[in-house]
Amino acid sequence: MKIRTRRRIVEWISLLVYICLPFLRIGGESALRFDVPTLKLHFFGTALWLQEFFFLFLAVLFFVALFLFLTVTFGRVWCGWLCPQTVLCDLTTFVEPRKRRSAAARVGTHLLLAVLSLLFGFVTVSYFKSPYESIPEILNGSLGSVPAVSMLVLALLTYINLGIIRRTFCSTICPYAKIQGVMTDGKSLIIQMDPARRDECIDCRMCVRSCPTGVDIREGMQVACIMCAECIDACRKVMGRKKKPGLIIYSFGKKGYTRIGELLRPAVLVFGLATLGFLAALVYQSVGRSSFDFSILPHRMAPRVTREGDVMNAYILSIKNKSNDDLKLVFSLPEAAAQGFTHSIAEPLAVPAGQVEKFPLFIRAKGKPGADLKLVIQLKDTREQAGAQRKTVYFNLP
């Protein structure tokens, strides 16, 4: 199988994943979407609120470390196989100039590109606004100005990129190309002509003609090379007529290092360990994440003495349901109940999915305590055997 065929499979899969994620529903919400109105990230059935964005911070650190690790080890394989610029350019080759194309065909090509750009803009906006809300609003003309303008701007940028700029971006202003030049070393994965067989080259220049960025790989690895391996396929085809393997190969460094000990250099170990460390921290935080959070707010009613001579304090119990399911929570005073304290909440507290509910809370002490004291308040999800949350509140005397 040609490397180009394998790349196309990877590219189509990555594009379909990008298109489908906002439409794929898990727990009633998109598999991946940052909902701007509620400032909430929906991530494969988990809802992350703004104050929980340390999860996102850890995820960003993990992907940055992984990105650097892959760069040090595999060079610019990302550019040739998964980069959105490469994927979109490879899958829209019909836009590239061709001889003997009529004016009507050129107009039709750009109209098709404009439609695809609008669809791409819509999909991208769907990562911030539910497509199941946007589509009816588009059909009845009630889509808000912000998503509409965002969609049009993204469509225009996509059209300019794919219709005019295309591969020029990779060979000139791409920031990753500059990062790659700094991060890679003499043992990173590159594409090169096999040094031991250089004299077999027949100077057919098929490798140069096939390169989307115009690189002559015979002169060595260059910044403009995106490691798409088009030159490898072209050389294999030419040399195959002579019953010989291709002269251009993937290689770890110019010397073709193959042993694990040669590839496990300090930079690889540092970024590899950093990637594993951030992944472990992300998993640990995710496993220990609770489905709800609560706080005890002050009530405007001051502490007072009841007719029975008991002291009563008033609070507001605020509960945030961070999950996509309705919750029922059990309230208790685990340490104070034995001391004669009672509370006003008699039933499990119902909190709808993704909502914040506030409940009045009255705590009464039998008799009059000798001094102000701290009480422990506990909330527990009825669906879970463990994972109760506790917080401390002051019980004040009048």
Question: Cβ distance 248 to 235 under 8 Å?
Answer: yes
pLDDT value for 22: 93
Answer for the pair 235, 247: CB distance below 8 angstroms, yes or no.
yes
- The pLDDT tens digits for 208-217 are 999 999 999 9
Q: Are 22 and 129 in contact (CB under 8 A)?
A: no
Looking up tokens 């394989």 gives 77
pLDDT for the residue 335: 75
Please give the average per-residue pLDDT across 126-131, as a whole number: 93
Q: Helix (H, G, I), strand (E, B), or coil: what is residue 180?
A: helix
What pLDDT is stored for residue 325 in this prediction?
80
> CA-based angle 49:54:57, to the nearest 5?
115
Q: Domains of the chain: which residue ranges?
A: 3-179, 292-395
Where does residue 309 fall: left (phi above 0), alpha (psi -120 to 50 degrees), or beta otherwise?
Answer: left
Span 17-71, pLDDT tens digits: 999 999 999 878 889 999 887 778 888 887 787 777 788 888 889 999 999 999 9
Report pLDDT digits (tens) over 334-381. Answer: 877 657 788 898 888 999 887 889 999 999 888 777 676 888 899 988
Q: What is the mean pLDDT of the chain?
A: 88
pLDDT for 99 equals 67
Which amino acid, 378? Q
d(CA 164, CA 120): 17
2 HSE (CA, 13 A, CB side):
14
Q: Tell me which fold the domain 292-395 belongs to.
A: Immunoglobulin-like (2.60.40)
Question: Which 3 state secondary structure label does DSSP give 362?
Answer: strand
Q: How far apart are CA 374 and CA 390, in angstroms?
A: 12
- The answer, yes or no, to whether residue 196 has pLDDT greater than 70, is yes
Q: What is the dihedral sign for C-alpha 44, 50, 54, 59? A: positive
Helix, strand, coil abundance in the chain, percent, nearest 5: 45, 20, 35
What is the DSSP secondary-structure string of 196-250? GGGGG-----HHHHH-TT---GGG---TT-----HHHHHHHHHHHTTT---SEEE
Query: Is the pLDDT confidence value at 287 over 80?
Result: no
Round to whole Å and give the CA distance between 365 and 324: 37
pLDDT at 17: 96
Q: Compute the distance between CA of residue 258 and CA of residue 265 in angstroms, rounded to an integer.
A: 13
* 209-213, 285-289, 393-397: segment of lowest average pLDDT: 285-289
Nearest partner of 212 among 358, 41, 356, 92, judged by Cα: 92
Confidence at residue 64, expressed as pLDDT on a 0 to 100 scale:
92
In angstroms, rounded to a whole number, what is the distance separating the alpha carbons of residues 73 and 67? 10
In this model, does residue 239 exceed pLDDT 90?
yes
Task: Give the pLDDT of residue 151.
Answer: 95
Rounded Cα gap, residues 222 and 210, in angstroms: 16
pLDDT for position 387? 66
Backbone phi, psi, residue 181, to 5°: -65, -30
pLDDT for position 372: 67
Residue-wise pLDDT tens digits, 241-265: 999 999 999 999 888 888 888 888 9
